[in-house]
Structure 1
C-alpha cells in the first residue's frame, strides 16, 4: 500500500480517524462529501443503506472507487451484523446466523465459529471489511435495556471463550472483528443511546467479571475494540464516560492490558455523549483519551463539525499531532493487512452449498433452544387446532431496527402440518386488546403464547394476557420467550416454558420442531432466571 504517514496532510490524517454514515442506498451527495471532501477513513452501513445484496455490493464498490479516485487509502466499510436480533442485512438470500445469547445457550465454540464464518463470508461478498461485533459485555443485570440477548450470557469465562471463537471466525475471513463495549456495558440499567450509565463496581470486581472477555480477546488478537459510553468510577474519577476517559482507554486498555489494535468509539451522536458534551467536543475528547477511530453515524452537520473541530484542536496545540499520527499508523497498518489477507482468500462468498449452510444453522438453533420447564405438555398434538399468539415486533432497543417478521412460529408449525390460527398482537397491548385475545382464544385446547420483551421487562399487556390464559386452564398453554429469557419472572402458573433468544427463522423452525417432538432442545440457560432456574439449567 503506497500510503504512509508522511504522504498525508493533517486534514487527510484527521479524516482517516472518522467512520461515518449516510442515509441512502447509493453514494449520494452526503456520501460523496464524506469520501471526497473529508476523506474519511470509513463508512458504516445501517439497514437504511441496504435494499439487496447486489445493490449493497455495488454501493461498496462505488465508495471504494471514490476513495481510489482521490488517491486515498481504501475505506473501512463497517456494519453492526451481530446476528440474531441485530442484523442490518436480512434480505432474502441472507443467512440469519444466531445471535450471541443463542450461541451462549449452545455453549459450543464450534457453533460460534461457524456462525461467524458464515456471516463474515457474506459480509466480505458485499464489500464489508469490519464488523462491529461481538458484544463481550457480561450480561449479569436482567434489567439491562440495551445488551440483553446481544451478550453471550452472565458467565465471564463463557463470554470470553465464545467471543474469541466469533473473533476467529470473522478475522480468518478478512473481516475485522470489533469487541464491544469496553470496559463492559452488561451491568447497567440505562441505555447509553438515551443517557449515561455507570458501573459502580470496584476494580477487583471489574478484573473478575467485566474485563475477563476483553483480556482474552486481546490475547486472541482482535483487530479492534469499541468503547462504552459508560462511566467507571473505579478507573476514572472525573465522571467522564469510558469513551472520553484517558485513564480507561490509554491507562487501562493500552498500557495495562497491552492492546495494540484500533480503539473505536461507539457513535458520538448517542445521547450519553451528544447531550452532555456535543459531538464535536466529544470527538476531540475521545481522541485525547486515546481513541483511534471516531464513529459519527448519521448527521452530516455533526460529522463536518467534528472533523473540523479535531483539525482545529491539532492546529491550536490542544491535540498533539503525534497523537493523531499514532492512530493513523495503526489504521494504515490494519488496512494493509486486510488487503493482503483478502488477496489470499478465494473470491467466492462461501465454499459451503446454501442447503448445507441452512442445515448447519438449523442444527445450531436446536442446540441453542432451551426447555426451561415442561409439566407434561410436550409434544403438542399435530391433529388439534392450535392458536399461536405472535407479538408483532416494532422495536425492542435503540440498536434494533424495526421490521415485521415475514416468517413466524405459526408459519413454522404449518410447515410441519399443524392446523394453526395465528393471532398477531402488539408488543405493548392495551387492556382492551388483552380482553379481545382472551375471548378469541376461547375454544382452543392448544395455545402457544410467544412473548417478546421490549426494553428491559416483559410489557404489562403481555404479562396480563399470558397470566390470564394460564389462570383459565382451558387446555395446554406453552410459552415461548422469543427474545429475553427473563420473561418467566413476570409470569404465573406456567407449565411449559421455552427460550429461543430471538425470533429469527432458524430458531422458529427449531422451536416448531421441538413443540411437535421432532427435535429435543439441547440449550442450557446462559443466564440465571432467579433462584429456581440457575445458570446452565435445562429441563
Structure 2
C-alpha cells in the first residue's frame, strides 16, 4: 500500500444524503477512505439503508480490494440514528441498567447487532461505558448504565458480547470516561480532575472489563485528565493517555478511534486537521471526521504531510493499518449483499420486540408515591407531554404518535393530551396550566436532555402541585434527576426514555396493570439512593 492508501484507511467520514453523493465518492476514489459513518441524514427505511451500504461497498470495490468499515451510533433509547418502526429499537443503557438484568442486556445488544448487520453496517459506536456519577452531566446521562462502576462494567461487557457475537464490531466509549463532567465536548473542553487512584477505581473499571471481553474498538473522549496528561489537551490528543495508559498499562491491542474531530473541544481549540495529526501522534488508529468535506480532505492531507515530514513515523501508521485490516477481516466487512424481496421481514420480529417489551416493563422505577397510584380509570385525566422540537448533537426531533396519553387511553375512559415543547415559553406554560383547570387527575411527563430541567417544565409541575384536591403524578421520560427541582410532589416515577414501548410500559404501571420493577441506577438524592425503589401506598 502507498502512504496515501494507508492514511486513507485511518479515516472514517460522513456525508449528506440517502445515496452516495459526490463528496463521499471522491473520498473513496481519491483519498482511499477506509470508513463511513451514518447519521439520521443518511437513513430513511431499511431497504434504503441496506441499498446505501451496498452501493457504497460496490463503489469502493471498483477502487480497492479493502472493504469499507460502515459505522453508526445506534446506542438505543434516545440515541438511535435509526428509529424507524421497521427495526427493533432497543432501550437505552440507563433503562437497561434499571432492570439489573444481564440476560436482557445481552439480548438487546445481540438483536441490535443482527439488524445492523443486515443493513450492511459492521461497526456500532456502542456501548457507552461511561460511569454517570455526576447529575449535572449534560451529554452522557441516560447513555450510561448508571453511576456504579461494577454495574456499568457488567452491563457493558455483555452488550459487547452480544454485538460481537452478532458479527458487529462493538466500541466502548468514551475513554478514559466522560461520566463525571459538567461540560459538553460538542461545544467546548471538559475536564475530569480526579487523581489516578480514583480514576482506576471508578472511571477505568468498565474499560478494563471491556478489554477483558475482547472489545474490537475503543473510542476516545475529548476530555482532559490532568492525572494522566499534565498538558492542557484532551485524551484524544494525548500520547500519555492513548499509548502509555491504554496500550501500555491496560494492555489494549484493538483499534482506537477518536470521537468526531469536528466537535468544538477539538475544532475550536486545535483545528480539525491539526487535531487529526495530534490524534495519530497520540496513538489513534482511526480518525473520525463526520461532517465537512473540506475538513475531511484537509485532515487526510495533513496526516500524509506529517508522515512525509518525519513528524509521525511511518512505522506507526503501519501498525495502525495492521489493526484496521485485522478488524475488517475478523468482522468480515467484505460480506455484503443486495436487498431481497423478503428483506423487511428480518426486522422488528415479534420475538425481538418481546425482548424490548420485557426490558421496558422491568425498567420503570417508582421513586415515591403517597397513595395516588394506580390512577382512577374512570376519572377524566389530562397528560402534559413534552415534545422534542429542537435538535441537539445527540437528539433530533422525532414525531411521536404513540405517547403516554395513547398508552393510558388503552385502559382508561377519558384521557386528553396537551403537547408542549421541552423548552416551553411563558405563554405555553400559562396555556398548559390553564388547560388543567377542572381536572382532578393530572399526569405530567418531564423531559430533560441537559443538566437541569427547563424552568418552564418546572413551573408547570410546581403550579399543578400547589392545587388542592388534585392527584398529580410526574414521570421523568429521560434523565431521572428532575425530582430535585420539585422534591415535595407526592408521586414520581422514572422511565429513562420516551420511546413508544417504554410509554406502553409506563401506562400499564400507572393504570395498575403491572408493578414498577426498576431500581434506580443512579442516586437522585440522599433519600433516593442507588438501587432504591418504592412500593405503592394505596
If the TM-score is normalised by the length of the shorter chain, which range does it land in?
over 0.9
SS at match of 2:270: coil
Residue equivalent to 2:410: 415
Equivalent of residue 434 in structure 1, options 423, 429, 446: 429
Does residue 95 of structure 2 align to residue 102 of structure 1?
yes
Residue equivalent to 1:206: 199
Equivalent of residue 155 in structure 2, options 143, 158, 162: 162
Contact map agreement 2:115 2:347 (CA 8 A) in 1 = no
Moved more, 408-417 or 327-336: 408-417
CA distance in 2: counterparts of 1:388 and 1:466, whole angstroms = 12
Contact map agreement 2:87 2:347 (CA 8 A) in 1 = no
Equivalent of residue 80 in structure 1, options 69, 73, 77: 73
Trace 1:436-475 onto structure 2 (pairs within 5 A): 436-475=431-470
CA distance in 2: counterparts of 1:133 and 1:475, whole angstroms = 43
Offset of 1:402 from its aligned partner? 2.5
CA distance in 1: counterparts of 2:503 and 2:89, whole angstroms = 12
Contact map agreement 1:467 1:492 (CA 8 A) in 2 = no
Q: Which runs of 5+ in 1 are unaligned?
A: 1-7
SS at match of 2:332: helix
Does residue 271 of structure 2 align to residue 278 of structure 1?
yes
Provide closer, same or farther for how the CA distance between residues 239 and 351 of structure 1 changes in structure 2, counting only shifts above 3 A: same
SS at match of 2:246: helix
Alignment root-mean-square deviation, CA: 1.6
Contact map agreement 1:121 1:350 (CA 8 A) in 2 = no
Offset of 1:31 from its aligned partner? 1.4
CA distance in 2: counterparts of 1:208 and 1:397, whole angstroms = 32
CA distance in 2: counterparts of 1:341 and 1:311, whole angstroms = 26
SS at match of 1:339: coil
Does residue 516 of structure 2 align to residue 521 of structure 1?
yes
Offset of 1:353 from its aligned partner? 7.7
Residue equivalent to 2:110: 117
CA distance in 2: counterparts of 1:314 and 1:221, whole angstroms = 30
CA distance in 2: counterparts of 1:33 and 1:151, whole angstroms = 37
Contact map agreement 2:69 2:333 (CA 8 A) in 1 = no
CA distance in 2: counterparts of 1:94 and 1:413, whole angstroms = 24
Contact map agreement 1:121 1:349 (CA 8 A) in 2 = no
CA distance in 2: counterparts of 1:294 and 1:137, whole angstroms = 21
Cα-to-partner distance string for 1:370-392 (whole Å, 9 max, x where unaligned) = 01111111111222211000001
Offset of 1:454 from its aligned partner? 3.3
Offset of 1:355 from its aligned partner? 1.7
Offset of 1:342 from its aligned partner? 6.4
Contact map agreement 1:137 1:180 (CA 8 A) in 2 = yes
CA distance in 1: counterparts of 2:319 and 2:167, whole angstroms = 23
Does residue 181 of structure 2 align to residue 188 of structure 1?
yes
Trace 1:125-524 onto structure 2 (pairs within 5 A): 125-339=118-332, 354-395=349-390, 397-524=392-519
CA distance in 1: counterparts of 2:251 and 2:533, whole angstroms = 39
Contact map agreement 1:286 1:294 (CA 8 A) in 2 = yes
CA distance in 2: counterparts of 1:299 and 1:510, whole angstroms = 41
Contact map agreement 2:47 2:344 (CA 8 A) in 1 = no
Offset of 1:420 from its aligned partner? 1.1
Cα-to-partner distance string for 1:424-455 (whole Å, 9 max, x where unaligned) = 01111223322221111011111110000131
| TM-score normalized by the length of structure 2 | 0.96
Moved more, 503-512 or 432-441: 432-441
Offset of 1:493 from its aligned partner? 2.7
Deviation >6 Å, runs of 4+: 340-343, 347-353
Contact map agreement 1:224 1:262 (CA 8 A) in 2 = yes
Offset of 1:221 from its aligned partner? 0.2
Offset of 1:155 from its aligned partner? 0.3
CA distance in 2: counterparts of 1:357 and 1:439, whole angstroms = 42
Moved more, 350-359 or 45-54: 350-359
Cα-to-partner distance string for 1:475-496 (whole Å, 9 max, x where unaligned) = 2111010001000000143111
Contact map agreement 1:467 1:493 (CA 8 A) in 2 = no
SS at match of 1:477: strand
Contact map agreement 2:77 2:91 (CA 8 A) in 1 = yes
Give the number of aligned pairs. 529
